[in-house]
Each structure stands twice: as structure tokens, then as C-alpha cells.
Chains A and B, each alone.
Chain A
């Protein structure tokens, strides 16, 4: 007999397993207690051994990205951005997995991966340009190894699978310096055909990919129990690769599990699915009103599992960081958000002729002609191109 899949119902904000927390890899409890090591159902053992500076970095990045995210949301409310998808509540899943990536690894994000983007070293203003509508995103995906934000739900899992198959065909897997690919998506995306196709292809072709699903409990307003009758990570079993649930509000476990899965992929051991069990504290996007479909009590319950607070408690109790550090981090986050605001407001509106700039990498005679005609047309107005 092979592994049996238990038919368990997941319930919003409550553990799937009766009596306790959902079975998931956890290294830092909600009240900030460190667990030395944890095993997944396949027997793999996880632990982390960070220096103080590394702990500081994780905390710093989570605090800064939460502050930047809040600033972006405020800017949208003030009419400066068209829309914003907040990551609040999901900082640990993103910062933990983001730091587990090696420079050569390629990431395929959704439109909410501001934390991963930040970890990849991309200027945090970039997604704001996109959502302000003044550019198409602006970062160089191949330079930062971070693909463009994908709005179409789940589509990037296929792009990632194709990319990962290419990595394998280039012979860049096998050994510790191999390349791995990570595809981010949400719980709602698991109901999409694209995601299931990506599972099939990557499994059959043994692609070096990690499917990182942030289960934030809601596909916009649709709760997880309307998406699945089994815990999401168990889906992977049916496609023929391991699925592991990690506490997505635990930055240490998120880091450890992602790192192990990426290493498996880069060594040629094929795909892994990670279900980071977390919660979207804010709205789906600024166009959404979560008070219409979920209860305040549920949000409070998750507030108690806050990813930043538990790390802060741990760092303080273990005297890894003191008040100076926390205050300095808050000040840095505030300064970064002020800077972000000023820079966003100063973003120039795009010139109409920029339409032609990125169509072909090497230009085209016909397009050059069109650009010239369009420029002449714009110049025919009084006061030039504007």
C-alpha cells in the first residue's frame, strides 16, 4: 500500500488536524518559542542555524516590507496608484522563501510577491510604477532572476515549468551549484487548469522547480474549503512529487523548507510543492472589502499568529536583538516609506513614443517608420509632443 490520503476538511483559521495545529513544519511558535528541529511527513528534518546578523536581516526585511506595503496601500487610497495587492500577514512566507533563493535561482511571482522582490534586491519602487500605470514593471527579470509580476491567476506556474525544463535541458541541474526555479501562487490558483498542467509537466519531466503556494485562506472572497477537500499540499502526491506544509507565518521554517526543496531541485531530484499556511490580513486588493466575507474574530485569531511579532519576541527573549535594534529598524522602515512616497509622486509620466521601445530587442524598420510618423504627428500640436 502506498501513502494514503486522508480526507480532512480544512477550516478557515482553524487547524486541519483535530485537536492541534495543522500538521506543518514549524520552527518558531506563535508565541516566539524556538523549536529545535521539525520533520515533514516524508522524514526530512529541518532546522536553521542563523547568526545574529542573519536573524536581524530577516526581521529587518519583514518590517521594512510591511511598512512599504502599507505606504503603497495608502498611496492607492490617495489616488496615486491604480490598485495595490497588499502582502500584510504573508511577510514570513515571502521573506523566508526569498532568502532561501540562491543568486542563480529564478523566481516567478504573482502580483503580491513584494517581499520576494525586495529579497531579490529589486528597487521596491518598481511595482509601484507598474500599478501607477507609468511603466510595465521596469526591472530586468534576467538580471535579478525575478520574473515580471503575473496578473493572470496561475499562468506563471506554466512559465516557470517551461523555464525549469529549459534549465534541465541546459544541463544546469545536478550538484550543489545547480539552478532551481520557484513558482509562487496562491490557494485560489490551485483550482486553475494552468497550475494543474504545470504540476503534470514538471512531474513528468522532473523539472527543477519548487511550487510555493501561499495558502492565505481566501481566493479573493472564496474560502479555502470551497477550493479543496484535502489539505492543498497533499495534491502534490497525486501528481507524483512531495508536498509539504509549512507554517507560512514562521519565517524560519519557511526559509528552511524552501531551501531544502530548492536544493532537491538543483540536485536533480525533481519538483516539490510547498504549502505555506498563512493568512492575508488585509484585502485581496484595494478594490476588495474583506469585511463582507469574513469575520473580525477570525482576523483576530490570525493577528495572534503575526509573523513579525513572534520573531521579535524570540529575538528579544534570546537577547539576539535589543530595543536599539528594533527602534532603528522601525526608523529605517519609516524613512524607506517616506522615500518611497516621494519617489512615487515624482515618477514621470511616460512619453507616448515609448510605446515602440520594447517591442523588438533589436528594433524594426517598419516600427522605426511608425515611430517617426507618430512623433511627427505629436509634434504637429502646439507646444510640441504634449
Chain B
């Protein structure tokens, strides 16, 4: 026995890692020098690595699909393997030999090494010698994708084998990966391991990871200010009832969110600066003439924020349809990446969970976000008397680099004004 470990070399001038695409040999196989043993893809090229030594493959350390740091051993080769006479020759038909092969009438039957393929690694940069539990995704050959797409998939925690490619020759595109992220995938979601210490460790990936990155980036770059306004929405609720009763609206789903959306859009028209982006690199504030209205949606996969494109141009009826469609699409997990990018203002409808309000964090690139709380009957002073009235609390977070307290307050007051008297607001600014 003379076992040598073969470390992943730097295959292309200063690379630090490579992805194991496919093993061309199996453990126990006898190989020749320079026989191709593994396909590895780096940021530069997908290449075959020839065996450095002739001998017998002892152990494969890096599973297919795993990313290995340059210098980490990927395989060990015994350059002085014992003679093949070692292989038990006297096994009886039907008995299993020490190497796990069953004696059949001719020879020793099919090898079963293929079934020993280790599961794909999903976290951490170090190569895994131990199979990660509960992750038995068996790969059928390497998935076809360019290195940047592979990286994206890795970052998002997407298993490329689970993706259907729509690119040339069935290759997987960036969009394909993003669609998967937006789609609930029960096979990989929520894979967690419970250790003996009664702590659960959940790999941070996919939507969770994206959300975490976005929220951290936003929270630590945009100085947030949050203001609150509690409004009596009695008139808004009556308006909704009248809408529902209207013959032309009979088929339409109408909710308080619709009026909140309308309020937001009309108020944005009056305060366009709220619909803007801080472009730090250019040293500019980008004020947008269109509103892509984001609606935060809780889905099986996590928080996603699809948006309604150019919502400011929609009639109330069109807006109602758009909101319904957006929610429907999000629930069925069919939201596309395009629907989730380019938002300019967001509403987070925390009221559906029964809470009063919140201090939302801005989606990156947006200057303001409205938390729409629950509508509950509360004691309210109405015409000099305390009455039970449907009341809600609005919470507006805004980017103080762009929006001062005055603008933020005026904007929030306008949203509130609409919700307390939609008809008057429509007549006044409609």
C-alpha cells in the first residue's frame, strides 16, 4: 500500500476553487497514469483531470456538485495496490463477497459502486467526506450551465439538477435558476438537522438567504425613519361595501389593501420624491415617473415582494385585478424574477396577521415602504363622543437621505387622508 492524496490543483492561473462535475472513475477502480478521472469546472473552464499516478482509486473525497478549494484532496490513489488475487475468488454463487459483489454464474456480477455515490454537499466550503444527512439528491451527470449561473445557483442554494434548462442545448440560464427560487420546492425547502443538543440548524439559503442579505444591506445603508398615523377608516369601509355592491364590480375581489394601494399611488403623485432611489455611486437621487408597486407576500418559500408594473396608470378596477393576480401568483409559487425586480414603493400588509403596525425595513433601492396594519373596531372620538369605529394604524418607513421628516409626514398624512375619506380625496386630487 502506498496511498497518495491528490489535491485539487489551481487549474487556471490564480483560481481558488473548482466544482466537481463528474467522477469518471469509481472507488476501487484500477487506473492508468494520465487516465481522465474527474471533470472539474472552474470559473474559467470545464476540464478533465488526468490521473497523476497509476494505481487503484482508494477514496473519493469530493462528491459531484461540491465545490472544492484548491489544495484540498479530492481523491486518494494507492500506487502499489495489492495484487488482484486479493479479490476473493472462492465465493459461492449467490453469496456476497467482502467487496459487496455477489457471485453469479459468470464472474462476480455487476459492481455496485454507482449506488455509493455520495449526496451533494450544500453548505460550507470544505470538502465533505461524510454524507450530509437527509440530502439524498442523486445526480444524473453534470447539469449544463455556465460558471456564473453555477455560482448564482450556489449562492441561492439551488440544486442545478432540479432545474430545467431553457437555454441553448438545454443549458440552464440565470432566469431558470431565479424561477426556481421563486417557486416552492418542498424537496429542498426546510431541510434541517436536529442535533442531540436539541438545537435545530437550518441551512441559510434560497429566499431566506436573499432576504437576509437584502435586509442587512438595506438596514445598514439607508438611515430609516418610521412614522405612524392612526386613522378612522369608517368611510373607506363603507366605500368598499358600495364597490362590492356595484354591478360592474360583482366579480372583483375587493379588500382594504386595494384602497391602501390607491391611497399610496395618489399620494405618490402628489409627492413624487417619495418614489425615488438613492444612487450613491452616481451621487444622484433618481426620481421615478412610474410606480412599480410592490406588495410583500408571505409564501411557503418565504417572503417575496412582487410588484405591479406602472401601477400609477391603472384605474381602480385594473388595480384590483392586478392585486388579485399578484397574490394568486405568489401563493401558487409562480412569481417570475421579472415580477420581483424593479419595485419602487412597497406595501407590507401586516394587518392580515392581526397586528396593528410595524417598522418595516426598506427593500433595497426603494425610498419608502408602508406597513398597513389590521383594521379593528376601537373606541374613537367621533363628533365629540367616544364611538366604536374601524381604525387602522399606518407605519411609514422612509430613507432619511432622501426624505425629510416634513415630506415623510405630509406623505403619510395624505395616505391617511385618503383612507379616512376616499371620496373627498378622490375629488380633491383624483
Contact = CB atoms under 8 A, between A and B. Distances in A.
A74 B44 contact: no
A289 B13 CA distance: 14
A36 to B, nearest CB: 41
Contact of B7 (A79, A82, A288, A289): A79
Contacts of A289: 44-47
A281 interface: no
Given A287-B44, A288-B44, A77 B13 contact: no
Nearest to B7: A79
B49 A77 contact: yes
Interface in B1-58: 6-13, 34, 44-50, 52
Contact of B45 (A78, A82, A288): A288
Contacts of A309: none
B48 A287 contact: no
A289 B146 CA distance: 11
A218 to B, nearest CB: 15
A136 B8 CA distance: 26
A287 B50 contact: no
A233 B185 CA distance: 59
A291 interface: yes
B336 to A, nearest CB: 27
Given A77-B47, A77-B49, A78-B49, A287 B12 contact: yes
A191 interface: no
A29 interface: no
Contacts, number: 45
Contacts of B146: 292
Contact of A78 (B12, B46, B52): B52
A82 B9 CA distance: 9
Interface string A286-329: 11110110000000000000000000000000000000000000
Given A77-B49, A78-B50, A286 B12 contact: yes
B40 to A, nearest CB: 9
B46 A286 contact: no
B71 to A, nearest CB: 9
Contacts of B11: 76-77, 286-287
A292 to B, nearest CB: 8
A287 B49 contact: no
Contacts of B9: 76-80
B46 A291 contact: yes
A71 B50 CA distance: 10
Contacts of A82: 10, 13
Given A286-B47, A287-B44, A289-B46, A74 B34 contact: yes
Query: Closest 8 A-B residue pairs measured CB to CB?
Result: A79-B9, A289-B45, A287-B12, A78-B52, A74-B50, A74-B34, A77-B49, A287-B44
22 contacts: A76-B11, A77-B49, A77-B50, A78-B6, A78-B9, A78-B49, A78-B50, A78-B52, A79-B7, A79-B8, A79-B10, A79-B52, A286-B11, A286-B45, A287-B13, A287-B44, A287-B45, A288-B45, A289-B44, A289-B45, A289-B46, A289-B47
